[in-house]
Amino acid sequence: MKNLVRELTSIIGPSSYEEPVVDFIKKTLKNKKDLEIKNDPLGNLIVRKKGKGKKIMLDAHMDEIGFIVKHIDKNGFLRFSVVGGLFPHNIIENHVLFVNGVEGVISYEDKNFDWKSIPKIDEMFIDIGATDKKDAEKKVHIGLLGGMKPTFVDLGDRISTKSLDDRIGCAILLKLALDDFESENDIYFVFTTQEEVGLRGAKTSAYSVSPDFAIAVDVTGTGDTPESHIFEVKLGMGPAIKVLDYGMVVRKPVIDFMVDVAENNKIPYQLEILRSGSTDGMMIQTNKEGVLTGVVSIPTRYVHSQAEMCDMNDVENSVKLIKEILKTDLSKIKGF
C-alpha cells in the first residue's frame, strides 16, 4: 500500500491536467477483467464493478494544487498564479516541477520584505535558472502547469509527501478495486477531476452515475500538533467519519450507519467536525433529488504543503471500513 501511495504522489497532476494520474490508474487496473473503465468529457475516470444491488459511488479526486505560469520577465523569472488553495506560507523556497519536466524554486521580492508578514503570491516568482527571458522561453511558456516537487519521506507507520490530498484517497479506491470481496452492490469507483478548483468533476460524475449511496474519500486536518486549533482528529486513531464541514452536513442516519459498521467490525474511527473546507461529498450529496452521502477522511497534517503527513494505519483501516460498508445491507440506513 505504501508503494502505491509513493507512486501516486510522485505524479504531477494539477487541476485540468489529471491525465497522468488517469494513465497510472488504468495501468494498475488493466488485468482486472471484472471492471468496466471509462472516461467522461470532464476527464473523470469511472470504474464500475457490476452488481445487482444498490448503486454505490466511491469518490476520490485526482487533481492536486499547483501553479500556472502567467508572465516571464526580462531576466527570465516567472510570475505565476495558483491553481487551487495554495497558501503563501507553505510554498516559499519550495521546489516546483512543471509538467514538461522543468524544475524551479519559489522565492519572493525582498526589497520591502517584513519579517512579521508573509509575502503575497503576486510578490513571489519562480526561478528556473534562466539567464534572461529568451532563455526561459526555451524551457517554459505562458499557461504551463506545475506542482510541488515530490519529496516522499518514509517515517515508518507515517509518511510525508506532497499531494496526499487526495492521492491517498485514490490509493484507497485502487486498493478496493483490486481486492476481491463479495458485495451484491453495483459499485462505481470514481476518480474525479478539478476538485481543488470547485468540486467540478464530482458534479458531472455524480449526475452521470446517479448513485443510491455515496462515500467521498479525502483528507482532513488534525488537532494533534503543539498549540493547534481545537480539533478532535489525530493521526493514528483511525479514519474520520465526517459529521459536518464548511459545505456539508452529513445526515445522521448515514453517520449512525457508518459508526455501527466500524464498531461492529472493531475498526477504530474518529468523528470529524471541520471548521473550514469541504469535499466532493458536498457536490454528490446535492445531486439531482439528493443522495445519501458520507465521507471517510484521512487525518493529515500540513495539508496543502509539500510535506503532508498521514499514518498508514489510518489508511489501512479506511480500506477495511469502506469494504465492510460495501458488504453491508444498505437498508440498515434509517429511511433508506
The continuous run of DSSP H or E covering 174 comes out as helix 164-178
- pLDDT score recorded for residue 96: 96
CB 102 within 8 A of CB 128: yes
CA distance 223 to 270: 12
- pLDDT score recorded for residue 182: 83
pLDDT digits (tens, 9 = 90+) for 37-69: 999 999 999 999 999 989 999 999 999 999 999
CA distance 5 to 326: 22
pTM of the model: 0.95
- pLDDT score recorded for residue 230: 85
- pLDDT score recorded for residue 171: 98
Say if 2-64+162-332 and 66-148 have the same CATH topology.
no
What DSSP letter does each residue of 53-68 carry, written as one string? Answer: S-EEEEEEE--B-EEE
Name the CATH superfamily, with its identifier, for domain 2-64+162-332: Zn peptidases (3.40.630.10)
Domain boundaries, the chain: 2-64+162-332, 66-148
- pLDDT score recorded for residue 90: 87
Which segments in the chain show pLDDT lower than 50? none
What architecture is domain 66-148? Answer: Beta Barrel (2.40)
- pLDDT score recorded for residue 67: 95
Catalytic annotation, residues: 195
Which residues lie below 8 Å from residue 137, measured CB to CB, with a gap of 6+?
A: 72
Provide the grid cell at 266: 472493531
CA distance 151 to 160: 8
> How many C-alpha atoms does 135 have within 13 Å on its Cβ side?
10
- pLDDT score recorded for residue 227: 87
Alpha-carbon distance values, 312 to 4, 204, 291, 295, 300 (Å):
12, 31, 30, 18, 11
**Four-residue CA torsion sign, 103, 45, 313, 271:** positive
